[in-house]
Amino acid sequence: MQKIGVAAGHDAASLNTFLQPGCVASVWRRQSPPDVQTWLDRLSPEVLPRGRVILPLNAVKTSMRHVCDMSGLIAGRE
């Protein structure tokens, strides 16, 4: 079996590497919109949400809201 480990790419198609045997994770490296990056840069690391979950695509948005709520992260338009 070929070991892939963690794959990374710059487009959604690169996430398909996760389906390969031996791939434990796939990271989509995306450029954040400038206003979102500015907001993220101002956050203290202590308030950033932490979590590790495996979800179907249709559950990501709701789950991320819960993780952010649990961390105490203040809601913003971002």
How far apart (Å, rounded) are the C-alpha atoms in residues 21 and 12?
19
Q: Both tokens of residue 33?
A: 């919109």
pTM of the model: 0.50
At residue 77, the pLDDT reads 62
Give pLDDT tens digits for 28-77: 888 888 988 888 888 888 888 877 778 888 888 898 888 888 888 777 66
At residue 78, the pLDDT reads 56
Would you kindly state where each structural domain of the chain is located, as residue ranges? 44-78
- Three-class SS state of 52: coil
Asked whether the predicted pLDDT for residue 9 surpasses 60, the reply is: yes
Asked whether the predicted pLDDT for residue 1 surpasses 60, the reply is: no
